A and B are shown apart, each in its own frame.
Chain A
Amino acid sequence: MSDSLSKLEKRTAYTLVLPAVLLVFAIVLFPIFANVWISFKDIELKDIRIPEPRAKKIVKSISENQSELKIIYKLRNSSLIQEIRNVQFQDKFPTNISPVNLDSRCNFQSKKVVCDFGNWQAKYRENFEITIQNNNGEIINKKIIKSQKPILSGKANNPLLTTNFTLENFKKVFYENNFVELLLTTFYFTFFGTVGAIIFGILAAQLVNQNIQGRTYMRGILLFPYVGPVVALAYTWTLLLDPNSGTLNALLVNFNIIEQPINLLGQKYITMSILGFEFKLRLALTTVIFFEIWRYFPLAFLFILARLQAIPQSLYEAAEVDGASPIQKFIHITLPQITAIISILFMIRFIWNFNKFEDIFLLTGGASGTRTLPINVYQQGFAVSDIGMGSAVSIVIVMLLLSFMVIYFRLIGKRANEV
């Protein structure tokens, strides 16, 4: 009895879970594996269309009596690179109509013209003609003839499914792609974006956690950059930072803080001198990092605030009695309570920042030294149209990501025991 019940339970469970699992598998997991396949192929954007035979039908009158018509089929192979094998053609005609002098490749039977065109090379083109006549000598209605569309079929290789593989893509990724700089830029962006977001998150959480009026409003406002659509926010920033008529530069020039407008998003380096030391700062990258911090510190803020509000007030009261200063309270009570959440946040945000595409793409498009790995996937795959290479970069991302996750779960596992 209980056995059949647990069987029923299992079957129910699978029916409930299966649709979701299948969908996620098809859209999320399958592509990750497909990337491996594509990354070993020499394939470009224009190759991914499966070639198909096409025909355009043109109907022409040839004699006065209109009981005869000429039909021209403009035949072509849609692909410029691949052949189509065994092309079959078929067109239907009304009753009483039959073709005259039919091409040797074709047959006429039961009101249909059926042709076997054999193989078509890439770029193949032909004007194929049929003359038809009405057997009773009546006028043929052109419109009826024209409305009937010919059916074509043929076999072609799907370039994605062929089995010639190459290591060329990975060679290019590592040797011809400025790989070291790409990786350094990605890490620079990821690391400072993450650390900055967490620092601002702690500050904001500490502020909102004080007893101030309107703190719920403040919490809502602080989350605006996080919930707003990235397109709108990125373009607002671009406008704000524009060197020619952007508000920020105009303000700084107006108050004589700077002499010349600075192209914050379009300049790769800026030379700064602090205390006599001159050094070069990656300007555009730094600006993008600030946007990143602005947009994602709210998440860190929210998590840290939730943790802060859970700290028992008695701890602070006890410290007050002991005569601790505000700084001591922060260092000895608050900080130990939030280290766990900070380390989790650091790792989650690190992984997500590592994969960030939209923000950089919309602000700079990857120009002026802001090319990170995800941007490179897009550039290779769609700007250079080298799908195989784009996939190879994706594989590099997945590999790095998997190694982060291993580290992450190791550390989190330890953390979970401590907390």
Chain B
Amino acid sequence: MKYKSLAIFLIISSFFLTCILSIWKIMSTLQGLNFTNLNITPVFLIGILLSLAFVLIGNKMNHLIKIFSLSLIFSILYFYLNETSPYWYIFGVFLITLFFTNKLKKYSLQSLKEDFISEKIIFDFITLFGIVFFAFVILFPFYIMLVTSFKTQIALLVNPLDFSLDFTKSLTELFKSYFVIFETYNFGRYILISSAVSIGTVIVTLLFAIPAAYAVARLNFFGKNFLSNSILIIYMFPAIVLVIPLYTVFSQLGLRNSIFGLLIVYTATTLPVAIYMLQGYFKSIPKEIEDAGIMDGQNWFGIILKIIIPLSLPAIASVALYVFMIAWNEFLFSLMFLDSPKSFTLSRAIQYLSGDAETPRQYLMAGSVIVTVPVLLIFIYFEKYLVSGLTSGSVKG
């Protein structure tokens, strides 16, 4: 049994090491290194040797000294196996190997005799591999978006794999795409429009949603159950089936190409989710606090303003952030309703830019970075609120 689990351990761990090293190699290729071979088999074989050496040495050596010396030997072997590569690349290989051997710490010839050890090994390494895989797959497009915006068209055509940034250039050279899209393509205006529409939507939605959510959460009236049930059903209906009637009516009313028209539509489409999220929170506020307010002779307006809103600020904040993100990211309605460049939102402007095949792609990517960064910053900063809001089960996409 021991040999079987040892074999599985060697193969799986070496496979994992090969995968990370391949990702490292791909990333280095994108920095302009001229690799044409992933060298999977030799790396895999010396990976097996490394793991074998690790378990054979066992506790005979101090852990730190062991991983340092093993990583060093591995890196040197790797260096000879590979095509010519600069020292920073090999240093990266050394760090990865260090990380890898450190992860091997809990395995020894002894531990390989445990129950279900093969399954545990597989689970351990799949977890590690999965995390590297997911992080890579998710971040890679964002990385490409960012670095492309700093390159020039010619450089990208000469070598589409070279994404290295030349920091010796002046800052104006480096940020040229950003200057161009602000000066030639008027992105400053689009940022303003997008912010105005999104912030406007947040304010109007809250103005409508807070009273309605309060009524649904607290008051008794005919049709209340029907209302609270239909909120979610309405939310299931897609924007695409609303587009044609809204387009025709807005054309006749002259609301197309107007920020006001967009604002109405965004408000109406985000209201159901806002009411749904808010009423859930309002229900959790103890009723006694309101009763005290009623005793003081407050009317409903006073109760909402002085009791409900101050008590539910976190929920209101999270709804506001959501509505902002939905309105900021919205594309379908802005595509349908806006055809004059004077009233474009950011998303629509980028789509318009891409409609011209001549537009250099670094401009497109610079625009994409501009529209993405605010949302990601908000998300990272307020992650806790947003995640709890998301899991309340109501955000569409």
A interface residues (Cβ-Cβ under 8 A, vs B):
6, 9-10, 12-17, 19-21, 23-24, 26-32, 34-35, 38, 48-50, 158, 160, 203-204, 207, 210, 212, 218-233, 235-237, 239-240, 245-247, 250-251, 254-256, 294-296, 299, 302-303, 306, 323, 325-327, 351-352, 354-355, 357-358, 362, 374, 377-378, 381-382, 387, 390-391, 394, 397-398, 401, 405
Q: List 29 A-B contacts (CB under 8 A).
A: A13-B215, A13-B221, A14-B215, A17-B216, A21-B227, A23-B208, A28-B242, A32-B242, A34-B245, A34-B249, A207-B131, A220-B379, A224-B139, A225-B141, A227-B376, A228-B142, A228-B372, A229-B371, A230-B331, A232-B145, A246-B160, A250-B160, A325-B119, A327-B119, A357-B332, A381-B243, A394-B241, A398-B241, A401-B237
Cβ contact of B368, chosen from A17, A235, A254, cutoff 8 A: A235
Question: Are A24 and B271 touching (Cβ within 8 A)?
Answer: yes
Please provide the 3 A-B residue pairs with the shortest distance between their CB atoms, ordered closest to farther. A355-B238, A27-B268, A232-B368
Question: Are A224 and B238 touching (Cβ within 8 A)?
Answer: no
Cβ contact of A13, chosen from B219, B241, B272, B397, cutoff 8 A: B219
Q: List B contacts of A381 (CB < 8 A).
A: 243-244, 247
Question: Are B212 and A27 touching (Cβ within 8 A)?
Answer: no
Question: Are A17 and B130 touching (Cβ within 8 A)?
Answer: no
Q: Of residues 204 to 250 in B, which have CB atoms within 8 Å of A's CB atoms?
A: 208-209, 211-212, 214-216, 219-222, 224, 227, 233-234, 236-249
Question: Are A236 and B37 touching (Cβ within 8 A)?
Answer: no
Question: Are B248 and A387 touching (Cβ within 8 A)?
Answer: yes
Question: Are A9 and B221 touching (Cβ within 8 A)?
Answer: yes
Q: List B contacts of A250 (CB < 8 A).
A: 160-161
Q: List B contacts of A299 (CB < 8 A).
A: 390, 395, 397
Cβ distance B327 to chain A, nearest Cβ, rounded Å = 11
B interface residues (Cβ-Cβ under 8 A, vs A):
26, 29-30, 35-38, 115-116, 119-120, 123, 127, 130-131, 134-135, 137-142, 144-145, 148, 156-157, 160-161, 163, 208-209, 211-212, 214-216, 219-222, 224, 227, 233-234, 236-249, 251-252, 264-265, 267-269, 271-272, 275, 300, 325, 328-329, 331-332, 336, 346-347, 350-351, 354, 361, 364-365, 367-369, 371-372, 375-376, 379-380, 383, 386-387, 390-391, 393, 395-397
Question: Are A221 and B135 touching (Cβ within 8 A)?
Answer: yes
Cβ contact of B397, chosen from A29, A226, A232, A398, cutoff 8 A: A226
Cβ distance B8 to chain A, nearest Cβ, rounded Å = 14
Q: List A contacts of B215 (CB < 8 A).
A: 12-14, 16-17
Chain A residue at minimal CB-CB distance from B231: A24
4 new A-B contacts at CB < 8 Å, known A12-B215, A204-B134: A23-B267, A235-B350, A247-B160, A355-B241
Q: List B contacts of A255 (CB < 8 A).
A: 35-38
**A23-B268, A223-B379 in contact; A391/B244 too (CB < 8 A)?**
yes
Cβ contact of B272, chosen from A24, A231, A391, cutoff 8 A: A24
